[in-house]
Amino acid sequence: MTLDASAFDGRLVLPTDADWEQARVGRVFNGRRPGRQPDAVLVAGSIEDVQRGVRLAKENGWTVAVRSGGHAWAVWSVREGGLLIDLGALTDVGYDEETDVVSAGPATKGGEVLSPYLEARGRFFNGGHCPTVGIGGFLLQGGQGWNQRGWGWAAESVVAVDVVTADGELVHADANENSDLYWAARGAGPAFPGIVVRFHLATRPMFGALAHTVHGYELEDFSEVMTWMYRAHRRIPDNVEIVCVSVPVPVPEGGERRLFLVTGLAFGDDEEHARASLAEFTTSPVIDRAVFVQDAVPSTLAQQREEQLRNNPEHWQYICDNAWIDGEDSAEGIAAVVEGIRPVFTTNPTEHGFAIWMSNAPRRELQDMAFSLHTDAYVAAYTVYEDPADYPRNRDWVNEVFAHAQPVTAGQYLGDSDMTNRQLRFMAPENWARLQEIIAARDPEGRFHRYLAADPERINVNHWEREEAR
């Protein structure tokens, strides 16, 4: 074993070191920390450190786990045994004016750093909603960024990646060179067979204006409102991000109350265009019963980021799950879908918990890449609490509401998943098969950890299909 700490630009931290706990979980967003103990943590100071770390792991027979922003809800970066390489220092950002491509280190915070950096240059990248999410894990699993409905998955704007391979080599991967790694980097998530040390991202011109519509409805109106939304969302122009949220909000009579919000965020060429794009929202048949209506109010990305931070307090305890919802092709189908997801939105047991429904319609055709499963609507729910003793109750609730939604569930998105609790499909079968070939070729010795799952032999299968086949 060569554990020479001076061999690194950063720091190799061992379990006996005073700052072990900080190195192990200090940068993890979710306050619900796992007990899993790696053998060592390399706080990488440079790309060369990442290469050295992989070689050190090879010498020691260690499996490598990776952390960029530390926001994986199920804390995928902390695994039992092996070496955790923390990429927190890899945050360099550079912009090429000729190609409009921005290159950024994997721990760059999408909203807090990358977005303002590009805004200052009149450019935009459709990164994640919460400002503190690292681009590393976000892009590798697909990336549901601003107006993903209209602009596509953030991973579709990745034009190249620089990767440290299982041998510790640094390679560039794009559509022409190491194209297998480029394909896998857009959707493999935590089973990517390498470490991305830099992303190269296509940017778009900064939009001209933002306008925000928000209707606040009582939870008892959920079914009526949602039924209307299922009929309306395809008609809304694709420059509008459509999200419905169950969340506690300040109400006109004072204090806070959980309401069901219907929101449209229009990215317009100018204020008039943004406002006009939100017209469909005024057709809500229950608008007269709304607790409040905010109609096409001008907004800014900074305001949107602030709201995200308020709704996602760091280091609280989170349990979440999600589902790609399917079956809205007929009136009966819509009724089944609305009933299937109703408890997710109306029964959250935690004061700060929330649930989101996000439109993905009309569904766009995806690029040829690992990410390959989505439907017309996405649902995720989060319990947010401080006392670990509330875990069993909140876990039961999450399991119950998603079991209720099972008849209208097609699969899951890796970004809000926890396969130690529930395993669902997240990739098309042919893409899954291709990914397995790439992993086998690129990482034959299993240098990198794969998906963290209760049943690692049965990944990418909906658990009820597995149970039925038994």
Ligand X SMILES: Cc1cc2nc3c(=O)[nH]c(=O)nc-3n(C[C@H](O)[C@H](O)[C@H](O)COP(=O)(O)OP(=O)(O)OC[C@H]3O[C@@H](n4cnc5c(N)ncnc54)[C@H](O)[C@@H]3O)c2cc1C
* Footprint on this chain of ligand X (rule: CB under 6 A): 29, 65-73, 76-77, 87, 106, 128-130, 133-134, 136-138, 140-141, 143-144, 190, 192, 195-196, 312, 415
User: Residue 124 Cβ, how far from ligand X at the closest point, in Å?
Assistant: 15
Three-state DSSP class for 98?
Answer: coil
User: Residue 254 Cβ, how far from ligand X at the closest point, in Å?
Assistant: 28
User: Residue 81 Cβ, how far from ligand X at the closest point, in Å?
Assistant: 15
Distance of CA 373 to the CA centre of its chain: 14
User: Residue 90 Cβ, how far from ligand X at the closest point, in Å?
Assistant: 8
Question: Which of these, 189, 242, 158, lies nearest to 460 by C-alpha position?
Answer: 189
User: Residue 231 Cβ, how far from ligand X at the closest point, in Å?
Assistant: 26
At 309, list the tokens: 């931070």
Which residues, 6+ apart, have CB-to-CB distance to 123 below 8 Å?
Answer: 95, 100, 102, 203, 204, 205, 206
Closest CB to ligand X among 21 and 269?
21
Contact 463, 406 (CB under 8 A): no
Contact 341, 357 (CB under 8 A): yes
Q: For Cα atoms 411, 417, 419, give the angle at the middle one, nearest 5 degrees.
A: 90
220 class by beta-carbon count within 10 Å (0-12 exposed, 13-18 middle, 19+ buried): exposed
User: Residue 255 Cβ, how far from ligand X at the closest point, in Å?
Assistant: 25
User: Residue 282 Cβ, how far from ligand X at the closest point, in Å?
Assistant: 27
Closest CB to ligand X among 153 and 281?
153
User: Residue 192 Cβ, how far from ligand X at the closest point, in Å?
Assistant: 5
Closest CB to ligand X among 119 and 221?
119
Closest CB to ligand X among 12 and 72?
72
Bond before 388 cis per omega within 30 degrees: no
At 131, list the tokens: 């400002």
Write out the DSSP string of 114-140: IHHHHHTTTEE----SSTT-BHHHHHH
Question: Which of these, 184, 186, 154, 163, lies nearest to 64 by C-alpha position?
Answer: 163
Kind plus residue range of the DSSP H or E element containing 232: helix 222-232
Question: Which of these, 467, 343, 355, 358, lies nearest to 402 by C-alpha position?
Answer: 343
C-alpha–C-alpha distance, residues 237 and 244, integer Å: 16
Closest CB to ligand X among 68 and 372?
68
172 vs 26, 88, 99, 169, CA distance in Å?
A: 31, 21, 17, 10
Closest CB to ligand X among 77 and 227?
77
Q: Strand 195-202 relative to strand 317-325: parallel, antiparallel, unpaired?
A: unpaired
Residue 34's identity, in one-letter code, is P
Closest CB to ligand X among 323 and 338?
323
Closest CB to ligand X among 132 and 462?
132
Three-state DSSP class for 429?
Answer: helix
Q: Which residues of 188-207 are buried (b: 16+ CB within 10 A; e: fewer)?
A: bbbbbbbbbbbbbbebeeeb
User: Residue 336 Cβ, how far from ligand X at the closest point, in Å?
Assistant: 27
φ, ψ of residue 302 to 5 degrees: the values are -60, -40
Closest CB to ligand X among 158 and 225?
158
Which residue do the tokens 């609490």 mark?
A: 385
- Would you tell me how many other CB atoms lie within 10 Å of the CB of residue 250? 12
User: Residue 113 Cβ, how far from ligand X at the closest point, in Å?
Assistant: 12
Closest CB to ligand X among 285 and 313?
313
Closest CB to ligand X among 195 and 261?
195
User: Residue 21 Cβ, how far from ligand X at the closest point, in Å?
Assistant: 17
User: Residue 166 Cβ, how far from ligand X at the closest point, in Å?
Assistant: 12
Closest CB to ligand X among 12 and 195?
195
